[in-house]
């Protein structure tokens, strides 16, 4: 008896792009299964729990420019999983510490960034702790093979929201056009560190005590830092201990990709110490560490037809979405996955409508 492939869609990667795509398909009534190598959803929007604090080591906030994304963020706010932040943003440049003002709307997950992705994942089938290493099959009947050699499937279509180097490894032997598209997108690394303190940070001369985050202008004293946030000043975390998230510059991270997390964390904390106004000293950290994102930010954006520029899809049933196809922001990643989900849902609906009853 011939095998009838499942009409389900597999989504590899449960970051915000993969979740956005899966959410559209699920809400349209189409079966979808998510796979992620991590312990849960989130990707670069995940949060890390320390003994007395929660810190973000990926996205520190997300900004809003697009009307569709603005409506989604409003829904997250209504659900209680997102809130405005930072509202006290500073900048350090050759003139010192100054308030940063612009017209952008910025938000964060509440009480932690991962609240957004967990909200998106509600009701979805997620197989966590599973790294998909290769695909087998062909159009309409795809199997996913994990790190243990176990096969999952079959699936009518596969969406890959992983960074382009990882996506390339999965599609290269099946779809030359998608593989070529992946090669056009360079994903660069980023180191992110945390520092947890038992004592409060010192008051900064000329800076409000409630400062929440600071951007370090490019070229400021050749600092490796580009952004620092105070995690206890984020919504819902007033009771936790004083802690900092310190994000390194992309070029600095690239040059020190293979250094130890301990060395990187010390370098980034020292850079923040040197950026403080006046002759101030930070308290000794209770805990200090760093995380390396090997594929943190797209450096070269893919190009293509205007109607299809923020995702890629082929007749083989394989599709790609994520920040590399649109831009480096959280908003870009969500829009890429959301638009792909809409396109796939419409195509599945049309296909079902063409199938004769009985």
Domains of the chain by residue range = 9-354
pLDDT tens by residue, 80-118: 999 999 999 999 988 899 999 998 999 999 999 999 999
Q: Both tokens of residue 91?
A: 């900048």
How far is residue 247 from each of residues 13, 35, 78, 139, 224, measured CA to CA in Å? 23, 28, 30, 42, 9
Question: Residue 356 has what pLDDT?
Answer: 41
Of 147, 190, 187, 213, which is closest to residue 12 (Cα–Cα)?
147
Confirm or reject CATH 3.50.50.60 for domain 9-354, answering yes or no: yes
Q: Both tokens of residue 254?
A: 């690239």
The phi, psi pair for 240, rounded to 5°, reads -85, 165
Share of the chain above pLDDT 90, in %: 80
The phi, psi pair for 139, rounded to 5°, reads -50, 125
pLDDT tens by residue, 198-255: 999 999 999 999 999 999 988 655 789 999 999 999 999 989 989 999 999 999 999 9
* Cis peptide bond upstream of 86, omega within 30: yes
The phi, psi pair for 133, rounded to 5°, reads -105, -25
Question: Residue 277 has what pLDDT?
Answer: 87
Question: Residue 5 has what pLDDT?
Answer: 39
Question: Residue 303 has what pLDDT?
Answer: 53
Question: Residue 123 has what pLDDT?
Answer: 96
Question: Residue 217 has what pLDDT?
Answer: 87
Average per-residue pLDDT for the chain: 91
**Side-chain half-sphere CA neighbours of 331 within 13 A:** 17
Question: Residue 218 has what pLDDT?
Answer: 80
Residues of the chain with pLDDT under 50: 1-6, 304-308, 354-358
Specify the residue for token string 């130890």: 260
**Sequential DSSP letters for 45-67:** G-EEEETTEEEESS---EEE-SH
In sequence order, what are the residues at sequence separation of 6 or more whose Cβ sits closer than 8 angstroms to the Cβ of residue 135? 142, 143, 144, 145, 158, 170, 171, 174, 318
Sheet with 105-109: strands ordered across: 62-64, 105-109, 82-84
Question: Residue 350 has what pLDDT?
Answer: 83
Of 213, 241, 215, which is closest to residue 49 (Cα–Cα)?
241
Q: Would you say 132 and 146 are in contact if contact means Cβ atoms under 8 Å apart?
A: yes
For 327: left if phi > 0, alpha if psi spans -120 to 50, otherwise beta; the answer is: left
Specify the residue for token string 């590899």: 12
**Sequential DSSP letters for 60-91:** --EEE-SHHHHHHHHHHHHHTSEEE--SSEEE
Question: Residue 140 has what pLDDT?
Answer: 86
Question: Residue 30 has what pLDDT?
Answer: 96
Distance between CA 42 and CA 247 in Å, rounded? 18
Q: Would you say 28 and 349 are in contact if contact means Cβ atoms under 8 Å apart?
A: yes
In sequence order, what are the residues at sequence separation of 6 or more whose Cβ sits closer than 8 angstroms to the Cβ of residue 261? 193, 289, 290, 291, 292
Share of the chain above pLDDT 70, in %: 94
Distance between CA 329 and CA 45 in Å, rounded? 11
Question: Residue 278 has what pLDDT?
Answer: 80
**CA-based diameter of the chain, in Å?**
80
Residues 64/36/336/249 CA torsion (nearest 10 deg)? 60
């Amino acid at each position: 008896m011939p095998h009838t492939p499942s009409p389900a869609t597999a989504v590899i990667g449960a970051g915000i792009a993969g979740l956005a795509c899966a959410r559209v398909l699920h809400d349209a009534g189409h079966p979808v299964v998510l796979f992620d190598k991590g312990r849960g959803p989130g990707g670069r929007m995940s949060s890390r729990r320390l003994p007395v604090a929660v810190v973000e080591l990926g996205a520190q906030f997300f900004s809003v420019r697009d009307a569709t994304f603005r409506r989604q963020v409003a829904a997250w706010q209504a659900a209680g999983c997102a809130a405005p932040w930072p509202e006290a943003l500073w900048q350090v440049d050759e003139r010192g510490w100054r308030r940063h003002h612009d017209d952008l709307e910025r938000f964060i997950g509440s009480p932690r960034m991962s609240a957004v992705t967990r909200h998106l994942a509600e009701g979805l089938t997620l197989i966590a702790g599973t790294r998909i290493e290769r695909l087998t099959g062909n159009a309409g009947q795809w199997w996913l093979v994990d790190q243990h050699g176990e096969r999952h499937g079959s699936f009518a279509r596969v969406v890959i929201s992983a960074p382009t180097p990882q996506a390339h490894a999965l599609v290269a032997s099946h779809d030359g056009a998608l593989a070529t598209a992946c090669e056009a997108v360079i994903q660069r690394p980023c180191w992110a560190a945390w520092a947890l303190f038992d004592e409060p940070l010192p008051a900064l001369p000329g800076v409000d005590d409630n400062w929440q985050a600071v951007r370090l202008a490019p070229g400021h004293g050749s600092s490796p830092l580009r952004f620092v946030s105070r995690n206890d000043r984020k919504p819902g975390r007033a009771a936790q201990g004083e802690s900092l998230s310190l994000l390194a510059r992309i070029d600095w991270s690239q040059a020190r990709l293979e250094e130890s997390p301990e060395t990187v964390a010390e370098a980034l904390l020292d850079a923040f110490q040197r950026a403080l106004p006046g002759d101030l000293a930070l308290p000794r950290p209770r805990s200090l560490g760093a995380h390396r994102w090997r594929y943190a930010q797209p450096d070269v954006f893919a190009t293509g037809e205007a109607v299809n520029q923020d995702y890629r899809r082929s007749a083989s049933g394989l599709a790609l979405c994520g920040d590399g196809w649109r831009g480096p922001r959280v908003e870009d990643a969500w829009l890429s996955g959301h638009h792909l989900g809409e396109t796939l849902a419409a195509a599945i609906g049309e296909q079902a409508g063409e199938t004769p009853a009985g």
